[in-house]
Chains A and B, each alone.
Chain A
Amino acid sequence: MTPWLVAVAQAALLALAAPLVVGVTRAVPARLAGRAGGRIAQPWRDLCKQLRKQPTSPADASMFFVAAPAVMMATSLIVAATGPFIAATSLFGGADLIVVVGLLLLGTVALALAGLDTGTAFGGMGASRAMVIAALVEPTLLLAVFALSFRVGSTDLSRIVAAGATEPARVFTPASLLAAAALAIATLAETGRIPVDNPATHLELTMVHEAMVLEYSGRDLALVEWAAALRLSILLGLLANLFAPWGVATSLDPMWLAVGAAVFIGKVCGLAALLSAGEVWTAKLRLFRVPELLAGSFFLGLLAVLASAILA
């Protein structure tokens, strides 16, 4: 199979599975709380319903508001296509870590600008909060993966995952645990999960992501929600493949690709279930305590880099 076909298939798989992953994160807490909850496919139905509806935009909104959903979706799709999710082969020179983090940040900034653009109080508040969180999360994302890339000698995510799959003893040290913890906290913050942001809340004073998307409706809202779900799948997939790179296809053989896809879906759904089960037991942090958590995860990432570069 040609690399292009694999990239398109990978993007399509992630885009199709992302709403289901969100469905899992909603179903698990519901079952744990003794409720029946919605079906796992419910987010897909919501998306289909909203995609059929016409979007409206506020009278004063400019092109930032209109462009943000497309930018978010486009950046997420590029990362989904090139990242080491099903196959860890350097498809087109590979997915460099810095490019991936930059693309994710571009989506975050586009949404924050859209939140400011509408001129509503909640949009601006959500945007400023999202920027505070992003400023602390992005360096942590970089540092946590640097701890592994030191051992591999490359910042190409595909090469890191491939090296982890073929020779784990060289890549993984006890310090990798620190890096995994740092990346897990960064993932929670970046995707707006519970200690940082509550995805189920509609109380304006505590919202971060929801506050920025308040003005969206119809097709645009569907795109924003879909892109957010895709980012959750991407970050969970990176976390799973970087630190548990088993079952990732290292060649473009169709059979291995199918195995890789099945294992990947299993890993991401497992992580999503674990994440949402953890959310049942924890409370959302006060916003002013969030920087402490993120600074702590930054410290963990730094320690992992130091340890993998000097100690081991």
Chain B
Amino acid sequence: MRILIIEDEKSLREDVVDYLTENGYKCDFATTIKSALQKLSDVVYSCALVDVGLPDGSGIEIVEHIKKNNPEMGVIIVTAKNALEDKLQGLKIGADDYLTKPFHLSELSARVYSVLRRRNFGGKNSLVFDGLEIDTTEKKVIANGTQLQLTKKEYEILVYLASNPTHLITKEALADAIWGDKADMATSFDFVYSQIKNLKKKLNEADLKNYIKVVYGMGYKFKD
């Protein structure tokens, strides 16, 4: 799957490209509206990541262009300003999702995955690993042939981890993803911890021992 990243901030762009590439996506990038439009007319992308504040105008222009010419394509808006107006405008003209800077790379990856899934790219709606299948349409988890009984939060955590395979996911990123602005609670990390513990226990019972690894003090990794 090919993703176009339109972002003028070099450092951030490189990180995003690296991270998404590691997660198995093919990434191209553009730094201006002009070059982005050029790339969009040359190549077919599954998803575009659009920064609203670009040197030659607003990224909203690109979103409009995509929705007019290639409505099948997924679009995620990235805004630096935490600006509601941008978000509303972006979603109104058809963006699938939005992210405000700063964001966790793992969050971005999860969002990209979710957009692609919603847009039915690749024809599959499930994440498949060795002995583990996460059906994101039915919200079911099949482990070695049996369905796991997961709570809503456990399921969300598993999907989040699974959409960032082999990456370290920090406790903060996980808490942010699940509770949003409510994550500012001392207890939210304990929560993540206990949810992960339960999740691991349930996976263990289904003979899937090494899917979630705890990196002491830092966070968690899926399928080391």
A, B assembled together: no
Residues on A facing B (Cβ under 8 Å): none
Q: List B residues at the A interface (Cβ < 8 Å).
A: none
